[in-house]
Structures are given as C-alpha cells and as structure tokens.
Structure 1
Amino acid sequence: MATINFYLDKSDKKGFAPIHLRINCNSEQVKISTGEKIKPEDFDKETQLVKEKSVRVAEINHYLNYLKERADELFNNTYKNSYSNKEIKSKLTDFVNAYKEDHNVNIIREKVSLYGKPFTFVDLFAGAGGFSEGFIQAEHNNKFFDFLVANDINENSELTHVVRYNHQLGLDADFLCQDITEPDFLDNLISKTKGKKVDVVCGGPPCQSFSLAGKRKKFDKKDDLFSHYLEVIKVLQPKYFIMENVKGILTKEKGKIKELILKEINSIVDIKEIPTLTSFIKSLKKSNIDNDFLLDCLIKRIEIEQFTDTKAEEAKETYIKTIDSKFKKLTPKIADYKKSKTDERISTIRHGFNLLVRNKEWEKLKRDIIREKDFCNIDNDYFVDSFTQFLTDIDSNEVINKIEVAFGKLNVAKDFKKSCNDIIQALKIYVLNIDNCLTLIRDYCNKKQSSQLDKIINDIRLYRIEAPFVANSSNYGVPQNRERVLFIGCRKDQKFISEIPATVTEEEKVSVFEALYDLDFIGNNEEVHHYHLVDISKQYNGTAKKMKSLLKTRSIDGKPLKTNGKTFADWSKKGRLNGRFTKAKKPFYVKSTEALNNNEKVFDVLHNHKTSNQGEDVIKRLDIILKEGDYKKAKTKLDKCGLSTNKRNYNVLKPEKQSPTVMTIADDYIHYNSPRALTVREMARLQSFDDSFVFQGKRSTGGNNRKTELPQYTLVGNAVPPLLARAVAMEILKNIK
C-alpha cells in the first residue's frame, strides 16, 4: 500500500519553499518536484494543501489534488498491476511538465508565424469545431487557412474552442457566442473579423426539426436558420461557402425545401450588376404599357437587395406604402365613403398594409414567441395548434393571402379589376426571392429580350451552384457511414466546385477496429488517463490474425500506403495538424469557464476516456445483444431472461466495418469487444478527431438540461467529422483564386 503526500523543501533566498510530491511504497520512495513554490507559513501540513489566504490558492490546490489523484490511480486503480519507480516517476513527471509548460501562459499567445498563402475562414454553428479542425489541418501547395471567427450559442462550444485554438494552438481566432437571428449579430460578427476579408464561410445550421432521425415540427426555432446563414453570405460575400445538413433535407416536403434553398442561393446577387437589370426592366415598359406599375414594383423589389439592415427595412416600408397609396386612390372608386370606413373587407386590406409595414417588428415578435415556445416545450399538446395558428397568421405570406381573399369578396366592377389584381400581384412580388423575380420578368419578354435576360441573369447571380452534394464520411478516411448534404456555393469569379472527390475507395475504408482497438483497455465505470499497450494476440486468441489484418498504414486522409504511413490510431495520437503548429502546447481539460479563469487545468496523456457506471442487468443485456450481433435478433432472448427494454435501438459495432452515424447518446452503441457503451474519446475517434482535441465541460446531461447544455457527448455527436471537413478544405485550396 502506497502513502502519498506533499512536503516543502528548503526555502530559497526570497523565502519561497518548493513543493515536492513524495510516494512511499514497499520501502521504496519516489520524489518529484511539482514546480510550485510557496511561503512555508502558507502550507497546511495536515490537509496537505495551501491555506486559503495564499495567492493563487484555488489554482495550486487544484493542481496538488490532481497530482495526488493521478499518483493514487497508478497504485490503486489501474489497468496495469505494477510499475517500477522509474515508470511512476516518468508518468507523473509528464503531468508536471505539462503544467510547467502551460504555467503563466497568456490566454492568447502571439500568433504562430504564418508561411505561404493564407486564406481566411469563418465557422458558423461551430459546435465542437469539426469544420474548424478540418480547415486548419488542410494545406496545398503552400496554401492554408487562417481561422478568423467561430460562432455558436452555447458556452461549452466557446470553452472548447478557446481551449483548443487559443490556449493550446496559440491562434488569435475569436469566438462569437450569440444567436444568429439576433438583430446585431452581423455587426458583431464583422467586428470580430478585425477588418479582414472573409474568403470562406462554413457551417451547418442545426436541423433537428427536419432530420430523418427526429420529429418534424412547425415553427421550430431551428427550421429557418439557413436563411439567416445566407444573410451572412450576402453581407460577407466570401469566395466559397459550405452549408452542411442532414440527408433528410433533400426529401423534406417532397423536395420543396431543397429547391427553396437553391433558389435562395441563386437569389444572392452581385450588387454591381443591379443597375444593368433595372435598366433592362425599364426597357420592357415600352412593350408592356399596361404593366407599367408591376414593372416598377419589380425594380423597387430588386433594388432592396442593394441594402442591409436599416436601409433595407426603409426600402421595404417604402415599397408597401407605394402600394398602399395606390389602394387609397382606388378605394373611392370601388366603395362608397360609409362602406370604406366600416366594411370588414376594406378594413382587412387596409390593416394588412399596416401589418406589412411593421414587418420587422412582427418578425422580432415571431422569433421571441418561437424561442419561448421551444423553451416551454410546446409540442404534441393542447397548446401547439393555437401557437402554430398565430405564428402562421402574422407571417407576411398569410397576411397577403388574407388581403387577396378580401379583394376577391368585394365584387369590384370590371373597370377596376386590373388595378385590384395589380395590387395583389405587387404584394406577391414583395415576398418573392430574386430567383422568382427573374422568372417573373421573363413573362414580360419577347424572344430577343429573353436571350438578353439570360446573360443578365448569369452576370447578376453572385454564386454558382447546380445541386447539393451527398457526402459519405467513410469516403474520406472517417470510420463511420455518416451521410451529409453539402451545399457548396462558388462565387462567380472562382472555379466551380460541384463535389468533393473521395480520398479512399470502398475497399480502402477505415474500419471500426482500426479506429478503436488501441483504446480497448478500459472496464465498466472506469476513467483512464494514460495509453496502455493492447496485445491483440492475447485479447483475441484464435482470431488475432484476422484482427491484425484489419490494421493498415495510411496517409492522413486514409489512403493506404506501403511505406511511411501510420495507422488510423497512430494518426489520432500523433495528430493531423500541419507544420504550422510545431509549438502547440499540451492538451488539457477544464470543467468550466470559471475553472479556466482560475487556471484549474487537468493535464493528462489521454483525455475523455471514461465509461459509464452500468448496472449488472444492463451489462447482461448488452452482453446478450453483443453475442447475438443485432438488437432485433436478441429481443427474444432478452424477453426470456427478463432483460427486455423499451429502448428503441442499440447499434452493435462491427470491428471490420464502419460504424453507423454517430449521434449524441453513447448508450445507443455497443462496443464490438465489450458489453458497454462508448467513451467520449471512442466516439471522437469514430468522428476522426485527434486525441489532442479535448472536449471540455460536462460529460453528459439529461432531461430539460439538453435544451441549454451542450455536454461532451453532444459536442462529439453533432460535429462535422474533421477529415470530411479537411477534404472540403483541400478541394477549395486546390481551386481558390
């Protein structure tokens, strides 16, 4: 049995005594300097900690407790039965050196000296940082990416970002922790770019409301975020942008959502070309005298695209007031004075204009209601229909529909029907995107004019995109079949990219065993902080030869190599970052932003490798499912053993194949060799995160906390696999001008 304590060495000239760790075991003694010094009177020998009055008390005591815990683990709770004195000293010295190296480092160090040609990028809806990680790994012909800003609404995303990119890698990348739908979001984002032009924007707007794996809801706060994402694109006008989404978006509402997204992308215009288009529309008035008013409305609608924020709102208000003015002149011709003041139909039209003029205020109200509705979990209850109806009624499209119905019931004389129809059509133009406006303009063209319009359309569209691209992560060296849709927008002055070439063939794909075998040294309810040697021959006996054959040496992106390659596991341990990060600091974990501010860091060799405390029945259940190889096949046996469960599904990992899509709940997966769920680190490996990427904060959460918290498992499950992001970044670097 070992005794572990701290003692003070002789004080230096300034009166500070070094703190040493001392371990006594079986008449043997190991002494290690902690690297910390304090005044002898500030050390409490009984508690073995620094007294409360001391400077940096929280940080030093956290560090001493951490060292004591790690020393205790080596003797009392370890995979390996015994260590030599040399091994103990070596392992504990690793922790001490990491602490010394990081000690007193500023939150953001001076930026790593750049080499080659940097292109800038911004990561929206960043989560853990899968896109960010892949982009900073990429390098092609001495070109690479300079990370400017990441954005997410969750504090643990920010904490994970700050630790990884500011503290560990020394980058000056900023983080904006704000909802993209808030009015001042764009101003704040632009201020954080520090005046630099943004070359690439990437991000995956949350998509639970239309995910194949989730329930569909009306007016979910996450349903319309792609339009806010595109607003950022309109303002920043990057050379390329990538929007990642679930495959279900392609079939949502029979493909209408996909088509809407493409139309919105095609509606991002080159502002310099707007005068050419408006001049062309004016020229159409000569041959369309009867439609003079509608062509003017099309001009006004298109000119709105020149503006942002306040000016855009003013232009929209002017547009509606112009139509309202036309209606006011028409009213005496279609209704007598008394009727115009009391008639429900006239009032509907008049008040509809009031609603449309106040559209900005109604949109803010709608956003707040949707947020509160989501917070109160209004769904599948007696409240949802009334909320949905109200939110529908205040939408501009529905307001215009009601105005049209009111006009239809007025029984207007034939002489004034065109004027009424023009007002309705003008209101419909107001809510059209530019792509639909261009389609409408064609209706006023003859054959020659239609050819002229084709050229103008080609020039005015700022981005080119033909169709979304379906990418399976396993095609890019990720040991996971995760299909995602990529919308890749290419600015018209850049080379067109329609797909991301695979880096591995079907036969070359990385297996689950390759990704996880070297982490298979952990039992139930354990946390391991070191790597341990895994002896495949001992673990697998008769199948060892087959298991060893699954291991291949590869390039970073998964391509098998005959020489100079590394296994997927070795790449994970070494890291896939490019040569700019030779001065990267050791990875560490903190439980919160407060802990980071107090310097309460945990330096381990291996992070995030902890198993859940599963009860005996759960272990038996998982063991039966594991041996049957499939949850459905195991259900009969589970019933007989009294171990059945209401859980919808378990995914048994197959060592020779790729994993199914990694989600946010670890209990959905069963390890291929042990009746247990996966650790955060194992899920991160299946996502292709390096081991040096530490997921911060709480490990997991449940219940209503899932609305506000983003624990480690959720960070991992929601992330874009870095190797997929790397492939995207590489393709952009090959083509970007």
Structure 2
Amino acid sequence: MDKRYKHIELFAGCGGMSLGLDAAGFDLYFANELSPMAGETFAFNILDEDLNKKAEQGEVAGKVKWINSNFAENDLSSRLRENPFLAKNGPFSDISTLQDIKGKLLIGDIDDLLIFLNGKPDIVQQIREDSIDLLSGGPPCQSFSLAGRRQKNDHKNQLPLSFAKIAGLIRPKVVLLENVKGITSPFIEEGNKYYAWLEVSKAFVLEGFVPVCMMLNSKYFGVAQNRPRFILFAFRHDVFLELLNKYKSNVLLEFSAQFYQKVVENKDKLEEITVKDFSYTDIESAPELFDGVILPKIRNNQGQFVSANEAIGDIRRTNITYSGSKVTRGYGHNLNETFKYKKSGDFEIKNHDPRKHTFDVKARFRFYQVINEFQNGLKKGAVDLFTGKPVSAETSEKLMAEFQNYSLYFKQNGDEVYKIPRNIEEVKKLVESIPTKKHSQRALFEYEPAPAQLTIPDDICHYHMETLRTMTVREMARFQSFPDWFEFRSKVTTGGESRKFEVPQYTQVGNAVPPLLALQLGEVVYSLLTE
C-alpha cells in the first residue's frame, strides 16, 4: 500500500472505526469524541497516549484536547471523569489554532466543534487545502427529520445535521456514516411518517454530497457477531461525477444521481421526497451487489460465519494470564495479524477479568445453556416453565425427557453441584427459587455468531457449562473483532444516574464499529479514491 489518505473521525468512540481505517490505508487527521471515558481508550490505543498515567503524574495531555471543560488543562484527573454534558459551558478550552487540532483527539460536543469551525474560517480553509479524503462517524439519528421538529428537546437528534454541516465545511471527498438498523424504521412526528436514514441522506445532498446507502451485517465480513448495520457512503459531487463516468452502467450510482438531482430541485419541499424516491441496498435481498466495487465485498456466506466458539474458545479460562504470542491460530490470531501490535515485544491480554455471580445467577445461566440445545419447539416450553406460564402435561413430559440429557446447577447439602434432575417437579422447584425480572437474559449459541446486543453485560452468558458467567470485556471485544492488544480503559461498568453520561468499558465495546468491518468499508473507499 503505497499511498496513504487523510481521515477525520467524528463520534470516534473508543476507536474501532479508526483502527479499521488505519489498516485500510487512512491516516488520522483529527478525531472528535464526546465522552472522555471512551476518549481515554482511543488515546491509549490509537494515539499511544496514556492519559491516566499523565493524570497521576500531574501532567497535561499532549495529543488530546478539550473543546470545552470546567477544569483547567493541568487538572486532567477531573477532566477524565467530567460529565461531558456539563462541559459545554466550561470556561476552559484547549483549541485555538490548527496545530491544536491536527493529529489530535478533541473531547467535546460536535456542536461546539461546529461553532468553533464556523468562527475560524482560516482554519477551515487550511483543512480544505490539506484535502481531506474521508470523514466518518456514527451519529445517533433514529428520530432525525429535516421537515419535522426533530424533537428539539432531544439534543441527540440534531447531531446528524451537525455531522452533515461539518462535511459541508471541510469538503472531504467521501463521507462514511454508520448506524444501527433502527434508523431504517419509520417514526411518527406530528402525524407524519419519517425515515431517519432518508432524512440524513437529504441532509448530505444539501451539503453537496451524493449518498449511496446499504444495510449489511457484520457476520458477512468475518466478524463473529450477528450485527445488522446501516451504512451510508456520501461522495462529494465532483468525485461522484468521476465515479459515474467510470462506472457508466452501475445501477446504484445512477439511482443515487437521480435522488441527488431531485433533492436539489426540491429544496423548498423536501417533505415530498419519500422512500419511493430512494432506497438502500440490503445485503439479505441483494447480496450480488456487495461485490467490492461500490459496496464492500462479502467475505463469509451462510455456513462460513465465525461462531462464538471460534471467537472466544481459546480464552475461556479467566484464572490464567494470556499473552499475545500464545494466540497462534484461529480467529484471535487472525485479528492480531490483521491489526498489528506496533510496539516491540509481547503483550499481555487485558480486560479479561470475570464478574462475580451468586448461585441464583449461575443456576439461571446453566438453565439458559441447557435450553439452547432443545429442539422441536421445546425451548419455548422451557421458557414458559421458567417464567411461570402454564405448561401442558404433554409438554412437561417432553421437557423432562430432554432435561434428563443434561446437568442443571443445584444447591445440595450446602454445596453447588451439577446434576441431572430426577423429575420435572425438581426442575420447577429449581426455577421457582431463581426468579429474575431480566427476561432478556440468554446464553450464547456455541456454534453461531454472537448477538448484537452486547452493551449490557448482564444479558448474555457463556455457552460452556463450566463457565457460568457473563462475558468479560475481552470476550466482548473478540466478538467485535478488536485485536487482543487493544486495551480498554476507564471504568469497567457503571450504574444509577452515572449511566446518563458515563461510557464504561462494556459500553465502549458494544457501541464500537467492528474494526474488521471498518477495514473492509475503508478498503472500498480506498479503492474508489485511488481509481
């Protein structure tokens, strides 16, 4: 790879997108992230700066700057634990020139970054002259609408517009937006139906970009997770025209060109442009279009998806220390080879500390593991039994026949033991003694990719009978395709009122763009830019 392109990352999180794009050939020009907790992880892995160590030594950050803060630059400890929503009106700011921005991670609200850029046309011009190739990010936009009120009391629903406006300011050649599948579901506002993905597409057209939209799933790209995601490529109009000239018969580009023209011609009546005028390409219904030309190339088809066992089976035990040099095969090894460790020597695999569980929790986890094996609709009967719903005598008999093939987790004479239940009444007595309100809990399927819902650590338990616990941060990171050297920083988890603004390790992992997916999206953009 001879040429390297320039990349700006908004909504950077802990660094999953940036890690993948770096491997695809993009150098980070600057990044922006709201949360200082996620920013600490980003700085440690992407910028090689240990903010916690600097805070302990009373030093200031070198590669991380705060757009606004209530704390001075030399009070790094307080900055790392600051509520970012209260930092907006803080009296301290670290940025005033391009040198304060270039190569840095900027902690703070994207709207404050936009205000700064709007007030510094000379800096914007310098950034334009540096010719940014790619602007990427994943803003929350489930209820975003250009035509409607955009629920102005919800700050998050303004963020896509800020993202688009920054694109309009700095004029990158390509924009890459990642979001959850929910962006494609309609929402109702003042009696009208809106589609956030369509509204966001219009917003980028208004800034001079032509969108190409897709719905894909990370499991098709080698990630050990069933993770549907909406992706938007938006090409600056002049760049798009070059692509259209090169790929004259490409239906995706032609369709996007028509949509762009319609939005431009109907700026004053955007509400009349509906889903009938534009659509996204779904990998489930049109896999042939994911060929690596405009859309990323499918790497794993049905029967080739990476399973939970392949992803984390080699690090199942948590009472030993693993080193990178010992991961010599399989999925973990492939990740470590794809995203190379840039420091000399070996590394210890961190973030693999298990959470402690009571007997009740472990007994529930074993129950979930066992019923994952049930066939012919019996799993539903087992769930009904667990939740106290009526179960017929016939179903109870069939359930007992299944339970006699597995050991459940019991308390016996003061000890915790595995044993095969003697009858259905013993199973009923067990489940009645371990009730829970968390009916979203379940066990991983050993030979299937992990589910997408990994931000809440209590929801998913391990698939192995000797491992009655939730996932460690490291296992979650494996599912998300992070290499083993990537270390997650700040608090492991949080709760209470702190949930509203803290982004602990589990949330950092769950919210991240899988680096392996980012790599393959980046490779497509790299190829198009090179051509």
TM-score, L = length of structure 2: 0.63
Name the CA shift for 1:464/1:518 in 2 (closer, same or farther; >3 Å).
same
Partners of 1:180 and 1:493 in 2: how far apart? 26
Q: Deviations over 1:431-471 (max 9, x none)?
A: xxxxxxxxxxxxxxxxxxxxxxxxxxxxxxxx2225x2001
Partners of 2:324 and 2:524 in 1: how far apart? 37
How far 1:252 moved relative to its partner?
Answer: 2.3
Q: Aligned partner of 2:448: which letter? A: K
Partners of 1:218 and 1:168 in 2: how far apart? 37
How far 1:168 moved relative to its partner?
Answer: 7.1
For residue 134 of structure 2, the aligned residue among 191, 200, 206 is 200
How far 1:193 moved relative to its partner?
Answer: 5.9
Structure 1 match to 2:3: 117
How far 1:569 moved relative to its partner?
Answer: 2.0
Structure 2 match to 1:465: 211
Partners of 2:199 and 2:313 in 1: how far apart? 44
Name the CA shift for 1:190/1:690 in 2 (closer, same or farther; >3 Å).
farther
TM-score, L = length of structure 1: 0.46
How far 1:127 moved relative to its partner?
Answer: 0.6
Partners of 1:265 and 1:184 in 2: how far apart? 19
Name the CA shift for 1:577/1:531 in 2 (closer, same or farther; >3 Å).
closer
For residue 322 of structure 2, the aligned residue among 495, 520, 530 is 530
Partners of 1:236 and 1:193 in 2: how far apart? 6
Q: Deviations over 1:671-691 (max 9, x none)?
A: 110221000000000000001
SS of residue matched to 1:493? helix
State whether residues 178 and 185 of structure 1, in contact with CA within 8 Å, keep that contact through their aligned partners in structure 2: no
Question: What are the within-5 Å matches in structure 2 for residues 212-611 of structure 1?
Answer: 219-253=153-187, 254-269=193-208, 463-466=209-212, 468-494=213-239, 495=243, 498-522=294-318, 528-531=320-323, 566-572=329-335, 574-577=336-339, 583-584=342-343, 605-611=348-354
How far 1:531 moved relative to its partner?
Answer: 5.0
Structure 2 match to 1:735: 528
State whether residues 623 and 675 of structure 1, in contact with CA within 8 Å, keep that contact through their aligned partners in structure 2: yes
State whether residues 18 and 46 of structure 2, in contact with CA within 8 Å, keep that contact through their aligned partners in structure 1: no
State whether residues 488 and 498 of structure 1, in contact with CA within 8 Å, keep that contact through their aligned partners in structure 2: no
SS of residue matched to 2:234? strand
How far 1:257 moved relative to its partner?
Answer: 2.6
Partners of 1:151 and 1:683 in 2: how far apart? 24
SS of residue matched to 2:27? strand
State whether residues 518 and 533 of structure 1, in contact with CA within 8 Å, keep that contact through their aligned partners in structure 2: no
Name the CA shift for 1:532/1:205 in 2 (closer, same or farther; >3 Å).
closer
State whether residues 208 and 222 of structure 1, in contact with CA within 8 Å, keep that contact through their aligned partners in structure 2: no
State whether residues 141 and 160 of structure 2, in contact with CA within 8 Å, keep that contact through their aligned partners in structure 1: no
Name the CA shift for 1:650/1:181 in 2 (closer, same or farther; >3 Å).
same
Partners of 2:221 and 2:317 in 1: how far apart? 28
For residue 365 of structure 2, the aligned residue among 617, 622, 628 is 622
Q: Aligned partner of 1:488: which letter? A: F
State whether residues 165 and 173 of structure 1, in contact with CA within 8 Å, keep that contact through their aligned partners in structure 2: no
Name the CA shift for 1:650/1:240 in 2 (closer, same or farther; >3 Å).
same
Q: Aligned partner of 1:159: which letter? A: E
Structure 1 match to 2:14: 128
Partners of 1:481 and 1:203 in 2: how far apart? 21
Q: Aligned partner of 2:440: which letter? A: N
Residue 159 (str. 1) matches residue 90 (str. 2): no
State whether residues 454 and 460 of structure 2, in contact with CA within 8 Å, keep that contact through their aligned partners in structure 1: no
Name the CA shift for 1:247/1:513 in 2 (closer, same or farther; >3 Å).
same
SS of residue matched to 1:608? coil
SS of residue matched to 1:672? coil
Q: Aligned partner of 2:349: which letter? A: L
Aligned length: 366
Name the CA shift for 1:501/1:628 in 2 (closer, same or farther; >3 Å).
same
Partners of 2:302 and 2:511 in 1: how far apart? 25
Q: Aligned partner of 1:178: which letter? A: G
Residue 176 (str. 1) matches residue 106 (str. 2): yes
How far 1:208 moved relative to its partner?
Answer: 6.8
SS of residue matched to 2:450? coil
For residue 718 of structure 1, the aligned residue among 511, 519, 523 is 511
Give the unaligned 5+ runs of structure 1.
1-114, 139-143, 211-215, 270-462, 535-552, 554-564, 588-603
SS of residue matched to 1:720? coil
Question: What are the within-5 Å matches in structure 2 for residues 130-145 of structure 1?
Answer: 130-138=16-24, 144-145=25-26
State whether residues 654 and 672 of structure 1, in contact with CA within 8 Å, keep that contact through their aligned partners in structure 2: yes
Q: Deviations over 1:76-97 (max 9, x none)?
A: xxxxxxxxxxxxxxxxxxxxxx
Name the CA shift for 1:632/1:137 in 2 (closer, same or farther; >3 Å).
farther
How far 1:196 moved relative to its partner?
Answer: 2.9
How far 1:731 moved relative to its partner?
Answer: 0.5
Partners of 1:632 and 1:135 in 2: how far apart? 46
Partners of 2:488 and 2:141 in 1: how far apart? 22
Q: Which of the two has greater helix per residue? A: 1
Q: Aligned partner of 1:267: which letter? A: L
How far 1:217 moved relative to its partner?
Answer: 7.3
Name the CA shift for 1:605/1:161 in 2 (closer, same or farther; >3 Å).
same
Residue 647 (str. 1) matches residue 392 (str. 2): no
Q: Aligned partner of 2:211: which letter? A: I
Structure 2 match to 1:398: none
State whether residues 324 and 485 of structure 2, in contact with CA within 8 Å, keep that contact through their aligned partners in structure 1: no
How far 1:259 moved relative to its partner?
Answer: 2.5
Name the CA shift for 1:610/1:247 in 2 (closer, same or farther; >3 Å).
same
How far 1:638 moved relative to its partner?
Answer: 6.5
Q: Deviations over 1:91-113 (max 9, x none)?
A: xxxxxxxxxxxxxxxxxxxxxxx
Provide the identity percentage.
31
How far 1:517 moved relative to its partner?
Answer: 0.4
How far 1:475 moved relative to its partner?
Answer: 0.6
Name the CA shift for 1:711/1:146 in 2 (closer, same or farther; >3 Å).
same
State whether residues 365 and 442 of structure 2, in contact with CA within 8 Å, keep that contact through their aligned partners in structure 1: no
Q: Aligned partner of 1:262: which letter? A: S
State whether residues 474 and 480 of structure 1, in contact with CA within 8 Å, keep that contact through their aligned partners in structure 2: yes
Partners of 2:511 and 2:49 in 1: how far apart? 23
State whether residues 368 and 442 of structure 2, in contact with CA within 8 Å, keep that contact through their aligned partners in structure 1: no
Q: Aligned partner of 1:154: which letter? A: S
Q: Deviations over 1:294-323 (max 9, x none)?
A: xxxxxxxxxxxxxxxxxxxxxxxxxxxxxx
